[in-house]
Structure 1
């Protein structure tokens, strides 16, 4: 996640976040809770929606011992020991899906996920990228990433397996356009690419509530990255398209319930800020490339002024390449390998 300028003009109806094991009612029948993360972004938001005599849960947090302990407190406390009917996981990142398998086993809840996100979780849990490490290392080195940063990003696979519980053997596949009935109201499923393959979001027109996951958050923008298995991917294009669709289809006064940070109103303003931020990054890349041929790795200090630890440098590389691939598709840059296999960026005259 990257920090961007603090937005002005957003309404924060709930400026104080719930403490560990507590909940805040943010709309009729909707509770906001938080789970701690052992990361620089130290929390993830989860939500519970009244569903008849039980609860429909949104996201599960990381599958580590502190999270599972907090879940026990939440189930017995704010959720009042009532049954959990369903759990919808927005995407396959460990801070959202990590405890899902445990939670389903613990409560008997039905798991709902977009198929690609479910399958990506299974692939990553199976360690199926481990046999490509040689290719992946060559990918990063050829594009100018340091050895330390390469080691940091390649070490993420083991961490994923350690923090994500095995998923249930069966689940319910959901897709964009589905209408999910929760507590007597219709919630419309939308998906968006960029940060993940098909991030799930839910819009409830009757209550004016938009569960945005990591797609739209105040103060930060999600990491939009290109990875070795798909070097020419254009996730930034997918993200920008998703943001435009959100602005066109969800009203500005919706109560936005994000995956991180605070709930807010002022959706269209926030979308416009995110769109402008990523265009600004593209502009910085074009300005840097005007100095002559460059690798993607060499651009990182131009875009991220602070010194980054290896793992964060790897994420910064992935995000930089996402912007580069968009600029290549726009015809503004070329990205060609020399005789030694190193890739160089050049502006198109």
Structure 2
């Protein structure tokens, strides 16, 4: 029986068709043949939505949660009480972040299924996992010093370096690659792969035209904006422009009347409205940021242009990465310049 509410909630032009979220280890029907599971996260954002697609005599799982004993125990409860005696026969991961890929290796070995994800995210995830146990490279320390970190801040980064792999179970050695436009047959319906970029290099979304359903991962979230960051490994890239461009492409290629199943917050209707809000929000941030650059600024000086709340230590690294993404976007558009001083600190100015 479906748990879809008959009285959708409306907020900021979006409609939310559910009046509750799943309890731990509960499978809740989001659409015919599509089931919603919510798992805890040990972060400030404390949950992730995971999806199970009925597929004949089995189930296809979309995203897995972080690798932790707590989440494994909850999944075992789902296996015992929710799958109706049918095995997991498919495994899809939207992108490389630990809350999505964390238990992919565990699922693959437990159920004997191949992992399906994009090539770039699979290979980058393997690369980041290899950092576990390594000392932070000098280039990465210089990267944060250039952003304006103090000696104490750089030392904090040195201590946390390699944490990524601690929340990811050992990945399988082979995978099945998902590409833009690929079509997957699951449960007698066709799901088309739609690739986004910026939050992750090659983020997989799944669109079912017959059911008017979009599993959006972190590419489209209803209440928060996905983090778009520059990291030391790709210090000169422009992920924000990639993200804006891919959001525009999704808005143009998919209909507005789809049920969006996001990785965080609640399912909603209003895809085009939300994509427009997200694009316009970042463009507004870029405009405010440019105004700040009438006087030279470091990356850590520009938080007020981009964030409405005070940035504390728990999100300082994430905020720095997002500030750098916006600064690199202005550089890419030819609207700003950057100069490195004798102490190795980068100063950004309006061009």
TM range, smaller chain: over 0.9
Q: CA deviation at 1:39?
A: 1.0
Q: Does the aligned pair in 1 maintain the 2:94–2:205 contact within 8 Å?
A: yes
1:28 Cα deviation from its structure 2 partner: 1.0
Contact preservation (8 Å) 1:151, 1:310? no
In terms of mean alpha carbon deviation, does 300-309 or 115-124 score higher? 300-309
Residue 328 (structure 2) aligns with: 325
Check whether the contact 1:293–1:346 (CA below 8 A) recurs between aligned residues.
yes
1:188-227 CA-partner distances (Å, limit 9, x unpaired): 0011111111011000001100010000011101110011
Distance 1:189 1:305 in 2: 34
Q: Note the C-alpha offset of 1:41.
A: 0.6
Specify the SS of the correspondent of 1:286: helix
1:260-275 superposed matches below 5 A: 260-275=264-279
Q: Whole-Å Cα distance in 1 between the matches of residues 305 and 157 of structure 2? A: 20
Deviation sequence 1:165-185 (CA, Å, 0-9, x none) = 001222211111111111111
- Per mean C-alpha deviation after superposition, the further-off stretch among 128-137 and 57-66 is 128-137
| From 290, 311, 316, the counterpart of 1:313 | 316
The CA RMSD measured in Å over matched residues stands at 1.8
Q: Tell me the TM-score normalized by structure 1.
A: 0.93
Q: Distance in 2 between matches of 1:303 and 1:159?
A: 26
Structure 1 residue 341, shift from structure 2 partner: 3.0
SS at match of 1:212: strand
Shift of 1:14: 1.3
Does structure 2 retain, via aligned residues, the 8 Å contact 1:33–1:45? yes
1:346 lines up with 2:337 in the alignment: no
Secondary structure of the 2:234 match is coil
- Answering whether residue 127 of structure 2 is matched by residue 84 of structure 1, we say no
Shift of 1:66: 0.4
Q: Does the C-alpha gap of structure 1 residues 157 and 190 become closer, same or farther in structure 2, counting only changes over 3 Å?
A: farther
8 Å Cα contact 1:152/1:314 also seen in 2: no
Higher relative contact order (Cα pairs below 8 Å, separated by 6+ residues): 1
Unaligned runs of 5+ in 2: 1-9
Report what 2:223 is aligned to.
219
Alignment-derived partner of residue 145 in structure 1:
149
Q: 1:131, 1:183 → 2: CA distance?
A: 46
Cα contact 1:145–1:296 (8 A) shared by 2: no
1:303 aligns with 2:345: no
Partner of 2:190: 186
Out of 16, 30, 39, the residue aligned to residue 20 of structure 2 is: 16
- Distance in 2 between residues matched to 1:326 and 1:262, nearest whole Å: 30
**CA distance in 2: counterparts of 1:335 and 1:329, whole angstroms:** 11
2:263 maps to which residue? 259
1:126 lines up with 2:130 in the alignment = yes
* Cα distance, 1:152 vs structure 2: 4.3
1:34 maps to 38
Structure 1 unmatched runs, 5+: 1-5
Aligned pairs, how many?
A: 342
- For the 8 Å contact 1:114–1:198, the answer to whether it is kept is yes
Q: Distance in 1 between matches of 2:131 and 2:44?
A: 25
**Who is 1:3 aligned against?**
none
Q: Which residue number in structure 2 is paired with residue 336 of structure 1?
A: 339
Matched residue SS, 1:206: coil
Describe the SS at the equivalent of 2:110.
helix
- Specify the alignment match of 2:140 in structure 1: 136
Matched, 1:205 2:209: yes
Q: Distance in 1 between matches of 2:212 and 2:157?
A: 39
Contact 1:218 1:261 in 2 (8 A): yes
Deviation at 1:60, TM superposition (A): 0.4
